[in-house]
Structure 1
């Protein structure tokens, strides 16, 4: 599906900048080097433009550049821990161990102890960041995507793409409409080759799961998956495990019922975890779904810088959808004092958008998300979802009735 792979693996954990796996481009200094910038003088502001690790052109200020360089240095240091563990435990130490049919040579007790130790170590490591060159392999493992792919024939993806060629559905029409609008300034995604690759992944999945088909937002998620994974097929299986196992059901179906449930749960969690902010925003009649809906549908890929988004996804694929709530709450928490001083809805939106666009330090974000927000178990969130589902379904049913009534009146 792809052209020659041109990615090099570097000992520090970074692929070279501008090399995007599928398309030979003119190499520039490796991403491990400090970011170089082109500068433009604006009134009372010095802005800088630079290309991030995954090929996106970023515009920020000098502080943003310094933060991103510091973050990359921390990731390089963290990469040494991964390499040391691979040398000590083996290249695939984080894969779930399997017991042979006769159990020879290993006891169940030692297996469980080893698995538990690896699980704890892996969780801590992932929260500190997966080295970019290991990210595809680790994601496939911890998310369950590799296991999901192993249940079908090796030719599944190729056969699926061949079977969908030339077929037109409402989903394919919407996909074709959205392709040119998906990260339009990216040097690979904005090419015929990049759009064709993204189209195959999205169309293929729309036929795999007709209940989901295609929903706006998935184009951004799939595009970022393509930039991380080394092959189209790996990106497809990451999308599949994301929609079928990691996220809540019905987030991307026609009525977005799952997404509506998540928004209600998020409002409840905001009131519990950030009561001052929630009370202030309620007094202003500000609906948090104005910003949070895009966060949950696009998994922050349109809001956060790509390298920060991928650090969130590292944890998401390992710990599940509760991570989205942790991160969304953290964004509000980080700007609590500023938000409490607002009096206009537009000011709230401006603060949140500016914050997310300049959040180049994922360590700070994840520290707030897990240390300051506190524990939220999957079971607790599941109970909250079940509590909100009846109200959401009733509201959607009422909306559908109104639409049908309007259609009858028009006739």
Structure 2
């Protein structure tokens, strides 16, 4: 029999007995991790000044030293400050100077089409986090709207469908009183960690990463790729929101937070590893599906109740094989070329339609 629980971030959970066991084990492990992090905050503060003249975040040597610790999970109470530091957001805020966010966070200066996009993405039918206590209050909705409007003025090319959920999740984890820190963490995440190769162009970057995932599925999970081909679909068609929302609408919040721990330190390769791990985790179900719509429904349902972060991340970092940076760069370059070709073809078709109408 299922019973009602709430996770550490205030989301209601409908958990069965086995789900509760996994949740309790996860919470116990999180308490143990707190001791390992007792000196980390001091270390980050003492070294952050050495990289404060750039927006690139922690230097490579410090990142390598922290990687094993971060992969084991940042304690709940330390996440707001650690995400702000590890992502490079603190350095970005310092470089921008005081008052920068306040100037951006209003709606003045935003084109009407962008204002309409923000309003649509925060509407009840689309913004799934409206069920969260933070966004049942007007002050929560106002804060996430300010972050989105601010980011659109900071980086007009950075908007994409799913951004509202990412901003909302950062605000849930970091807290309403850390609105400005959440904004800078969003900027660092998108521009330094996920899409530095395309200057933070979010919609373009997501298209590229989706193609990268599909290529990696063919290489790493041939059974999955083969069955998807039989269904005349591919991995990104049955998992459309995984990467575009950075798993915030796919997995339980506490598992997503563990992914963000790694993502904010290590960058976009984490997205690919987690995507592969999820597909590997559900390989049997995928290969048993007879229709893409059925498969998508099954994946959404099962992922929403995947509470075992340890198992998922162990598969992501140890169970999908090596992913050398040079190899991923080559795959990404080919994916970007394919996206460019597709966009050019769409442009030509549109021009042809316009010419015919005249």
Q: TM-score higher than 0.5 here?
A: yes
The higher relative CO (CA closer than 8 Å, separation ≥ 6) is in 2
Pairing 1:393–2:348 present: no
1:307-318 correspondence runs (5 A): 307-318=254-265
Aligned residues, how many? Answer: 344
The residue aligned with 1:68 is: 23
State how far apart, in whole Å, the 2-side matches of 1:78 and 1:400 are: 52
In structure 2, the CA distance between the partners of 1:226 and 1:99, relative to structure 1 (3 Å rule), is: closer
Q: Indicate if the aligned counterparts of 1:257 and 1:393 stay in contact, CA closer than 8 A.
A: no
Which of 281, 303, 308 is equivalent to 1:334?
A: 281
Q: Is the CA contact (8 Å cut-off) linking 1:295 and 1:303 kept in structure 2?
A: yes
**Secondary structure class of the residue paired with 1:59:** strand
CA drift of 1:287 comes to: 1.9
Structure 2 CA distance for aligned equivalents of residues 251 and 144 of structure 1: 16
Question: Could you say what secondary structure the match of 2:77 adopts?
Answer: coil
Q: Which residue of 1 aligns with 2:98?
A: 154
Contact kept, 8 Å, 1:64 with 1:358, in 2: the verdict is yes
- Pair member with larger Rg: 1
Q: Which residue of 1 aligns with 2:168?
A: 223
2:55 is aligned to none
**Structure 2 counterpart of 1:352:** 299
**What does residue range 170-189 of structure 1 map to in structure 2 within 5 Å?**
170-181=113-124, 182=127, 183-189=129-135
Which residue in the other structure is 1:378 paired with?
325
Give the 3-state SS of the residue equivalent to 2:161 in structure 1: coil
Deviation at 1:292, TM superposition (A): 3.3
The alpha carbon displacement at 1:253 in A equals 4.5
The Cα of 1:402 is off from its aligned counterpart by 1.8
1:403 matches 2:346: no
In the TM superposition, 1:298-309 aligns within 5 A as: 298-309=245-256
Q: 5+ unaligned residues in a row in structure 1: which ranges?
A: 1-45, 101-114
C-alpha distance after superposition, 1:54-108 (max 9, x if no partner): 122222322212211110101111112222xx2xxx74214573799xxxxxxxx
CA offsets 1:243-270 (integer angstroms, 9 cap, x no match):
211112559758x332222122111111
Structure 2, unaligned stretches of length 5 or more? 51-59
More helix by share: 2
Shift of 1:208: 0.9
- Give runs of aligned pairs for residues 121-200 of structure 1, distance below 5 A: 121-161=65-105, 164-165=107-108, 168-181=111-124, 182=127, 183-200=129-146
- Structure 2 length as normaliser, TM-score? 0.89
TM-score for both structures, normalised by structure 1: 0.78
Residues 197-212 of structure 1 correspond to what in structure 2 (within 5 A)?
A: 197-212=143-158
Q: Shift of the alpha carbon at 1:374?
A: 1.9
Match of 2:57 in 1: none
Deviations 1:275-303 (A, max 9, x none): 11111211221221123331111000010
Relative distance call for 1:251 and 1:152 in structure 2 (3 A) is: closer
The alignment partner of 1:285 has SS state of coil
